[in-house]
Amino acid sequence: MDPQGKIYIVKPLRELGLTGVIEIVPNSKAAVIYRAGTNLKEVLASLRVIAANLENRVKAEQNKEVGAAEP
């Protein structure tokens, strides 16, 4: 965050539409960032997609660990 309280959003995210005024909802481990005024149902739908992707990554990591543990 710069001294004026602004956050730099990297170009790939800006190109996807994350521009203008944004809202950030954090907790102690993660945060969700979305354009101000976005329908919250749309934000939740997007978060479900992201959560499913993370669950797939966790499963892939677990499978990799199991495979590495086998002789």
- Quick one: 54 and 69 in the same domain? yes
Residue 51 has pLDDT above 80, yes or no: yes
- Quick one: 48 and 30 in the same domain? no
> Whose CA is closest to 23, among 1, 8, 38?
38
- Quick one: 18 and 31 in the same domain? yes
What residues are paired with 35 via a beta bridge? 22
Summarize pLDDT for 9-36 with one digit per residue, the tens: 899 999 988 988 999 999 999 999 999 9
Query: Considering its fold, how many domains does the chain have in total?
Result: 2
Task: Name residue 35's amino acid.
Answer: R
Q: Provide the 10 A C-beta neighbour count for residue 18.
A: 14
